[in-house]
Chains A and B, each alone.
Chain A
């Protein structure tokens, strides 16, 4: 059974059909590439998974449970982490603090206990900082760990977002164009990093990316969208030969 299955999901914005009966499954432990021209509905699908957008019809089942009955703030605790296409960091906070917030759903102490800070809370804080430090090391953010994120270059901010998402120990990681704004070498390193994280942490990854060589080299399966509809699905080799996909990309001038 797939870890995530999307079935017949449709989303409308006024007259715009952003998603039109999209169905596919993401096998546990795999990297699935989600591609398509601009405006195809990729980010909209992520936003449905995060419950930021309501689905007009269809269902999304994660690990045997429908996400449509889970509130927005409950998604992270279920094990779904994400990054955002246009960055959604806490800009006035430091890199470390951003990553610490990422662990919110894995920690418990509330207002009352935080006021009094008994030993249990202090211990929880210590463990949280240790986990954050490990991620800072993993993503090579040591030099900027205590800098405000707003002052950092775009590529570094993207890595902070990845670290913040990993801090929640997700089982499914949603990456929305992680390679945008990176140079050729950095894209190569990112591919290795995503694969490495998947192998080491046993994650499942849903990757939205325009950078075709990256998607095709690290994904086991690829789903292609165009105008909100699924137009192709299969292994990278199969999808690359798909006439409708070639047409979609040529037609949109990409």
Chain B
């Protein structure tokens, strides 16, 4: 990181730590969800933005992560924090296995296959033979964790900080991955798969592992989301969730790590604001805002910021 980036990061982190003490518990909960979505979007962005594999079904991995956490806590009494690695591992394997046959599909065909995953999974969760674990249509209610070590925090504040630490860790890992040899291979495959192979990149292997890693991120987000919302049910993970994730990475900025955070703020707050503005037609307002963003920031928020900074720097050099 450059010195300027370091300063910006420190300021944002300080603000993020102060936030739960400045706003209500409900707002704190909303920002916890922003962090959760940011992790999910980062996962999808690794796959779609960096590696060029479109997924219209990442809600499925979010759901698998959420149910893993809920079942482990509810049926097996596993502590909430210990469910995250399990949810991540389950989704890593699920994503890798889904990524293998998906290797044969490209572009819109891959979009359709992932869409199929996204629409079918919620129905599978309702299947009565699984009801013993999944709770069927009713879903599973889980209890919100209390802050440990007698910390003087509310449950919402504690969960916010817990999620913040997990998010920081996952973002740090992703940044390492994406700026190194593997990250370049992901982008090379996206830009020119044949040339990538000629450079010695095992594209099939890299693409399926990327699918797994992407699903792992989104699955951990799903587990955190379940813990925050205290409830999982099949209908919270319908195909609309998958589409929302795709909107999030495009609005935030494809192939951008910080873009995941901007996208998360968008998908968390814009529908809420639209709802407050008009109870009758919130989605019409959402649509207008969405078109506005796409039109004004064709490279996403992250791309817009990058361009503005470049212009500002060029101007300073000319003076």
Contacts of B213 in A (CB 8 A): 111
B192 touches A91 (CB 8 A): yes
What's the minimum C-beta distance from B51 to chain A, rounded to whole angstroms?
12
* The residue from A88, A107, A109 contacting B198, defined by CB atoms under 8 A apart: A88
A89 touches B195 (CB 8 A): yes
Given A52-B194, A88-B192, A116-B173, A102–B199 Cβ distance below 8 Å?
A: yes
What's the minimum C-beta distance from A237 to chain B, rounded to whole angstroms?
34
* The residue from A74, A90, A92, A109 contacting B181, defined by CB atoms under 8 A apart: A109
What's the minimum C-beta distance from B93 to chain A, rounded to whole angstroms?
14
CB-based closest 5 A-B pairs: A105-B200, A76-B200, A90-B191, A88-B195, A117-B176
Given A88-B192, A88-B195, A90-B188, A75–B183 Cβ distance below 8 Å?
A: no
B199 touches A93 (CB 8 A): no
Given A88-B194, A101-B196, A111–B203 Cβ distance below 8 Å?
A: no
Closest to B187 in A: A93
Contacts of A90 in B (CB 8 A): 187-188, 191-192, 195-196
Contact indicator per residue, chain A 69-102, by CB within 8 Å of chain B (1) or not (0): 0011111110000101000111111000100111
List chain A positions with a Cβ less than 8 A from chain B: 50, 52, 71-77, 82, 84, 88-93, 97, 100-102, 104-105, 107, 109-111, 114-117, 121, 124-125, 128, 164, 168
Given A115-B173, A115-B177, A104–B184 Cβ distance below 8 Å?
A: yes
Contacts of A105 in B (CB 8 A): 199-200
* The residue from B180, B185, B197, B199 contacting A117, defined by CB atoms under 8 A apart: B180
Bound Cα distance from A124 to B176, whole angstroms = 14
Question: Looking at B191, B196, B201, which has the most chain A CB atoms within 10 Å of its CB?
Answer: B191
What's the minimum C-beta distance from B293 to chain A, rounded to whole angstroms?
21
B184 touches A97 (CB 8 A): yes
A93 touches B181 (CB 8 A): no
* The residue from B173, B188, B194 contacting A101, defined by CB atoms under 8 A apart: B188
Known: A92-B187, A101-B201, A114-B180. 15 other contacts (CB 8 A): A50-B198, A76-B199, A76-B200, A88-B195, A90-B195, A91-B192, A101-B199, A104-B200, A111-B213, A114-B176, A114-B182, A114-B183, A116-B176, A128-B181, A168-B200
A89 touches B198 (CB 8 A): no
B191 touches A91 (CB 8 A): yes
Check if B27 is an interface residue, CB within 8 A of chain A: no
Bound Cα distance from A102 to B181, whole angstroms = 10
Which positions 154-190 of chain B face chain A at CB distance < 8 Å? 173, 176-177, 180-185, 187-188, 190
Contacts of B187 in A (CB 8 A): 90, 92-93, 97
Which positions 53-110 of chain B face chain A at CB distance < 8 Å? none
Check if B209 is an interface residue, CB within 8 A of chain A: yes
Question: Looking at B191, B198, B201, which has the most chain A CB atoms within 10 Å of its CB?
Answer: B198
Contact indicator per residue, chain B 219-256, by CB within 8 Å of chain A (1) or not (0): 00000000000000000000000000000000000000
Bound Cα distance from A99 to B177, whole angstroms = 18
Contacts of B306 in A (CB 8 A): none
